[in-house]
Amino acid sequence: MNDIVSRYLEQFVAAGPDAGAAPPWLREQRDAAMAQLRKHGFPGPRDEDWRYTPLKPLAGKAWETAATGAADIGGIDDRLIAGLDSHRLVFIDGVFSSDLSTTALAQEGISVRPLSVVLREDAGALPDTIRGGIDARDGFQALNIAFARDGYVVDIASDSKPDKTLECLFIAATAGKAGQTRNVVRLGEHASASLVERHVSLDGVDALVNCGSRLLLGAGSSLDYHLVQTMDSGVNMISDTEADLGADATLRILTATLGGAVVRNNLQVRLNAPGGHCDMLGLYAATGRQHVDNHTGVIHVAPHCTSRELYKGVLDQRARGVFHGRIRVDRGAQKTDATQANNNLLLSANAEIDTKPQLEIYADDVKCAHGATVGQLDETALFYLRSRGISADDARSLLTFAFVNEVLSEIGVDALAEYLGEGLARRLIQHG
Amino acid sequence: MLSIKNLKASVEDKAILNGIDLEVGAGEVHAIMGPNGSGKSTLAGVLAGREGYDITDGSVTYRGMDLLDMDPEIRAREGVFLAFQYPVEIPGVTNMYLLKAAVNAVRKHRGEAELDAMDFLKLIKEKAALVEMKQEFLYRSVNEGFSGGEKKRNEILQMALLEPTLSILDETDSGLDIDALRVVAEGVNKLRSPDRAIVVVTHYQRLLDYIVPDRVHVLAGGRIIQSGGKELAQELEQKGYGWIEDQAAA
Ligand SMILES: Nc1ncnc2c1ncn2[C@@H]1O[C@H](COP(=O)(O)OP(=O)(O)OP(=O)(O)O)[C@@H](O)[C@H]1O
Ligand SMILES: [Mg+2]
pLDDT band with cut points at 50, 70 and 90 for residue B81 = very high
On chain A, the residues whose CB falls within 8 A of the CB of B71 are: 386, 392
User: CA-to-CA distance for B228 and B4, rounded, in angstroms?
Assistant: 17
In chain A, the number of structural domains is 1
pLDDT digits (tens, 9 = 90+) for A304-330: 999 999 999 999 999 999 999 999 999
Domain that holds residue A203: 2-431
pLDDT digits (tens, 9 = 90+) for A245-284: 999 999 999 999 999 999 999 999 999 999 999 999 999 9
pLDDT band with cut points at 50, 70 and 90 for residue B228 = very high
**CATH domain B2-249 topology:** Rossmann fold (3.40.50)
CA distance B110 to chain A (A): 12
Nearest residue to B52 (alpha-carbon basis) of B97, B14, B4: B14
Check residue A432 and give its pLDDT: 32
Judged against a pLDDT cut of 70, whether residue A429 lies above it is answered with: no
Q: What is the DSSP letter of A423?
A: H
**CA distances from residue A63 to A58, A136, B157 in whole angstroms, order as listed:** 9, 19, 60
As a 3-state breakdown, chain B gives helix, strand, coil percent values, each rounded to 5, of 40, 30, 30
Q: What's the whole-number mean pLDDT along residues B91-97?
A: 91
- Where helices occur in A41-180 by DSSP H, the ranges are 56-59, 115-121, 128-131, 139-147
pLDDT band with cut points at 50, 70 and 90 for residue A431 = very low
Q: CB distance A386–B76 less than 8 Å? A: yes
User: CA-to-CA distance for B42 and B65, rounded, in angstroms?
Assistant: 21
Give ipTM to 2 decimals.
Answer: 0.96
User: Between helices A139-147 and A24-40, what is the axis angle to 10°?
Assistant: 150
Residues with CB under 6 A from ligand 1: B 11, 14, 16, 34, 36-42, 52, 85
CB pairs under 8 A between A and B: 78
Nearest residue to A371 (alpha-carbon basis) of A411, A349, A339: A339
Nearest to A383 among B51, B92, B101 (CB): B51
Diameter over CA atoms, chain B: 61
Closest ligand to residue B220's CA = 1
Extents of the domains making up chain B: 2-249
* Bridge partner residues of A267 (DSSP): A241, A296
Highest mean pLDDT among A63-72, A74-83, B161-170: B161-170
Judged against a pLDDT cut of 70, whether residue A364 lies above it is answered with: yes
Judged against a pLDDT cut of 60, whether residue A1 lies above it is answered with: no
Residue B53 at interface with chain A, using a CB cutoff of 8 Å: no
Among B14, B41, B173, B245, say which to mutate for ligand 1: greatest number of ligand atoms within 8 Å of CB: B41
Q: Which atom of ligand 1 is nearest to the CA of B203?
A: 25
pLDDT digits (tens, 9 = 90+) for A211-258: 999 999 999 999 999 999 999 999 999 999 999 999 999 999 999 999
User: CA-to-CA distance for A325 and A189, rounded, in angstroms?
Assistant: 29
Q: Which residues of B168-193 are buried (b: 16+ CB within 10 A; e: fewer)?
A: bbbbbbbebeeebbebbbbbbeebee
User: CA-to-CA distance for A1 and A61, rounded, in angstroms?
Assistant: 9
- Three-class DSSP category at B192: coil
On chain B, the residues whose CB falls within 8 A of the CB of A384 are: 84, 87-88, 90
On chain B, the residues whose CB falls within 8 A of the CB of A343 are: none
**CA distances from residue B136 to A259, B25, B117, B158, B180 in whole angstroms, order as listed:** 37, 38, 17, 16, 18
Check residue A426 and give its pLDDT: 80
Q: What's the whole-number mean pLDDT along residues A108-133?
A: 90
Judged against a pLDDT cut of 50, whether residue B223 lies above it is answered with: yes
Check residue A110 and give its pLDDT: 96
Asked if residue A372 lies in contact with residue A343, where contact means CB atoms within 8 angstroms, the answer is yes
Which chain B residue shows the shortest CA-CA distance from A400?
B92
Closest ligand to residue B218's CA = 1
On chain B, the residues whose CB falls within 8 A of the CB of A401 are: 92-93
Parallel, antiparallel, or unpaired for β A337-346 and B215-220? unpaired
How far apart are the CA of B81 and the centre of ligand 1, in A? 20
Check residue A55 and give its pLDDT: 93
Q: Which atom of ligand 1 is nearest to the CA of B53?
A: 1
